[in-house]
């Protein structure tokens, strides 16, 4: 367990004071109210690709994201489906791109549509990506993404990412083969934080599954996590002592623990108690503040890998029950 963090019994009741930043709701309604297509006139595009897998159809997807700029992804669907499908929209961990089209097939094999969203600017770790981030913000950001555009909520990197994620969910709701009432969002680490943000920004989701979520109680994470990505914030503030208040003000608009207070969809969380990348108390902050129906699996002796394949089995059963008539 991280030496600076709390034991499990204290984490279960950990609920620090975290007032919403001024104008939080207006900021996000204004952001999402902007025209998504930015003069392009384009909607989502789907190009079927042949992966040599006769039981799964895969599409190369492009969705107009923040500012109308294209966000790539893979959409997997079971072959031969005749009824509208439940859909799992997945957001990726820090550094990962969407990878190759044949890599993530579990949800399609279970009978659901599955959209894997590329994360803009990322794709250097474990899996490549194709979505560019053309708004880097001011010079001086620490390598990585946590301090990119951190001078203001308007320019911050995750404003673009969270908007991309919302647009992808909207695209799935409009897809003729998908049941718009049966959409679940999920992700591990960064993806879990994005999923929580989407759960707070998009009403009417069927469910949300955040695993070892990043971007929760970010101020605490920056102070106690000795490893990246939270360490990027500490590195930035070692150079810019006078910007501490402004940095944490910006980050507060993107803290998944705030978005969790606005979510209503049923949730299945997982938290790992020896996680040094997303300290468990930060994840519990979001879980304890989550306002919808919720369940939790704790992996007491696991680190940032979380429950892995064991937890995937739990998720498969949970989604099956959620989508069953």
Q: What distance in Å separates the CA atoms of residue 319 and residue 325, rounded to the nearest whole number?
A: 12
Whether 205 and 317 have beta carbons less than 8 Å apart is answered as no
Residues 11-23 as b/e (b if ≥16 CB within 10 A, e otherwise) read beebeeebeebee
Catalytic residue from among 62, 175, 189, 258: 189
Whether 255 and 197 have beta carbons less than 8 Å apart is answered as no
Catalytic residue from among 38, 152, 240, 304: 304
Catalytic residue from among 118, 275, 281, 311: 275
Question: Which residues have C-beta within 8 Å of that of residue 259, sequence separation ≥ 6?
Answer: 196, 197, 199, 200, 201
Tokens 């599954």 belong to residue: 209
Question: Which residues have C-beta within 8 Å of that of residue 17, sequence separation ≥ 6?
Answer: none
Residues 168-194 as b/e (b if ≥16 CB within 10 A, e otherwise) read bbbbbbebeebbeebbbbbbbbbbbbb
Tokens 């759960």 belong to residue: 199
Q: Would residue 275 show up in a list of annotated catalytic residues for this protein?
A: yes
Q: Would residue 133 show up in a list of annotated catalytic residues for this protein?
A: no
Among residues 214, 210, 207, which one has the least CA distance to residue 112?
207
Q: List Cα–Cα distances, 111 to 23, 101, 102, 270, 298, in angstroms.
A: 41, 17, 16, 23, 27
Which residues are identified as catalytic? 189, 275, 304
């Amino acid at each position: 367990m991280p030496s600076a963090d709390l034991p499990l019994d204290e984490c279960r009741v950990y609920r620090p004071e975290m007032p919403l930043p001024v104008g939080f709701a207006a900021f996000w309604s204004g952001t999402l109210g902007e025209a998504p297509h930015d003069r392009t006139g384009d909607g989502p595009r789907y190009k079927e690709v042949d992966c040599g897998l006769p039981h799964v159809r895969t599409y190369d997807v492009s969705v107009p994201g923040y500012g109308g700029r294209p966000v790539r992804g893979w959409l997997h669907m079971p072959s031969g489906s005749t009824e509208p499908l439940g859909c799992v929209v997945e957001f990726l961990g820090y550094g990962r791109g969407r990878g190759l089209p044949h890599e993530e097939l579990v949800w399609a094999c279970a009978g659901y549509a599955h959209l894997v969203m590329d994360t803009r600017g990322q794709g250097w770790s474990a899996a490549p990506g194709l979505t560019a981030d053309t708004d880097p913000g001011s010079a001086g950001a620490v390598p990585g993404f946590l301090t990119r555009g951190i001078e203001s909520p308007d320019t911050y990197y995750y404003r673009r990412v969270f908007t991309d994620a919302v647009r992808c969910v909207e695209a799935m709701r409009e897809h003729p083969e998908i049941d718009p009432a049966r959409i679940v969002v999920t992700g591990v680490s960064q993806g879990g934080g994005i999923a929580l943000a989407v759960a707070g920004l998009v009403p009417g989701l069927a469910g949300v599954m955040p695993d070892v979520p990043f971007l929760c109680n970010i101020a605490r994470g920056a102070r106690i996590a000795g490893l990246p990505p939270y360490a990027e914030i500490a590195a930035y503030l070692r150079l810019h002592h006078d910007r501490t208040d402004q940095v944490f003000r910006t980050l507060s608009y993107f803290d998944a623990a705030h978005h969790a207070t606005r979510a209503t969809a049923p949730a299945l969380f997982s938290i790992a108690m020896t996680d040094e990348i997303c300290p468990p108390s930060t994840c519990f902050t979001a879980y304890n503040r989550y306002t919808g129906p919720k369940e939790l699996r704790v992996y007491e002796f696991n680190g940032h890998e979380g429950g892995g394949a064991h937890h995937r089995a739990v998720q498969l059963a949970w989604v099956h029950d959620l989508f069953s008539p």
